[in-house]
Amino acid sequence: MAEKVVAAVLYPDFQMLDATGPLEAFALTNRLLGGDPAYKVVTTARQKGPVEASSGLTLMAQTSWDQLGENLDTLIFIGGRGVRTAMKDKDMLFSARRLSGMARRTASVCTGAFLLAEAGLLNGRRATTHWDDTDQLAREYPRISVQRDDIYVRDGQFVTAAGVTAGIDLALALIEEDHGRDVALATARMLVVYLKRPGGQSQFSRELSAQATSSSRFERLRQWIFDNLDKPLSVEDLADQAAMAPRSLARRFAQDLGVTPAKFVEHARIDAARRDLEDGGLTIDKIAANRGFGGADRMRRSFQRSLGVSPQEYRDRFRSKESV
């Protein structure tokens, strides 16, 4: 079987990790599978040769755009500080349309989505980008349905990822699509990352990050919540732990963290239950009890409300065969 070419498209001032993160995931999968490589990982640019990233480091483009073609499977457009200049490059936009028509799937990492958008490839599709750029993507390209919280979005042959390290999440999803969950999980473990990271990218937004780091008054409370998910965790319980009046806690918690205490607790329970379901060792009733849902029915309602699937559907989709 011929190698599937996975090509990352470079341009001056690209973001280095946008390129190397997903490419390393594909390369590591080759090593884990053994035998003939499943993927041929390449970098491409207008011309062969060194391309300087925004960090000042350089990455060699192994081939030019015009030389791509045979066995092109996955085309990845990289984000970075130079994306605005790249968007004005008519040759790049033409090549994006041409190569996308040849590839089985076309992907973007971070602001690489703007290149696909400018080429008209995302019109009428769902897509995402770095959380700091989702509003701009929606404003400049109203024909795109921008998904602000997703780590990655698949719409037909197009797969767009959120910022920087989300390119690894994207690569793992594509590896799972090609070789199954166990191979993708083994790759994730070697990279020391989640196969399915908990939560969406909104948890990394500038507002929430600034609030979480600028105010230490709730940091201990948050950790206490994570450590005590088997307990009821009412607003009154949290207020006692924080030595505050319940109404004062609710108001300040929402101001500092951008979410109500009840919603924060629910999200924490769901994220913990998701990991339990992926591991597969406990029954759904036991997970519901351990994570403080008070029963499987309540956990099911929470999953349906937040994730759009039941706990059993989530387990069937995401648990490893190793845990069956």
Contact 159, 208 (CB under 8 A): no
In terms of DSSP bridges, do strands 4-9 and 39-45 run parallel, antiparallel, or are they unpaired?
parallel
Q: Which residues are catalytic?
A: 110
- What angle in degrees, to the nearest 10, is found between the helix axes of 219-227 and 261-279? 40
Letter string b/e over residues 37-73, b meaning 16 or more CB atoms within 10 A of that residue's CB: ebbbbbbbbbeeeebbbeeeeebebbbebeebeeebb
Distance, in Å, from the CA atom of 320 to the CA atom of 195, rounded to the nearest integer, reads 10
215 by DSSP, 3-state: which? coil
Tokens for 242, please give them: 């924080």
- What angle in degrees, to the nearest 10, is found between the helix axes of 246-257 and 235-242? 90
Provide CB contacts within 8 A for 130, sequence distance 6+.
Answer: 79, 110, 111, 162, 163, 164, 201
Q: From residue 158, how far is each of 107, 115, 123, 295 by CA, in Å?
A: 6, 13, 11, 39
Contact 269, 302 (CB under 8 A): yes
Distance, in Å, from the CA atom of 171 to the CA atom of 33, rounded to the nearest integer, reads 16
Which region, left, alpha or beta, applies to residue 318 given φ > 0 means left and ψ of -120 to 50 means alpha? alpha
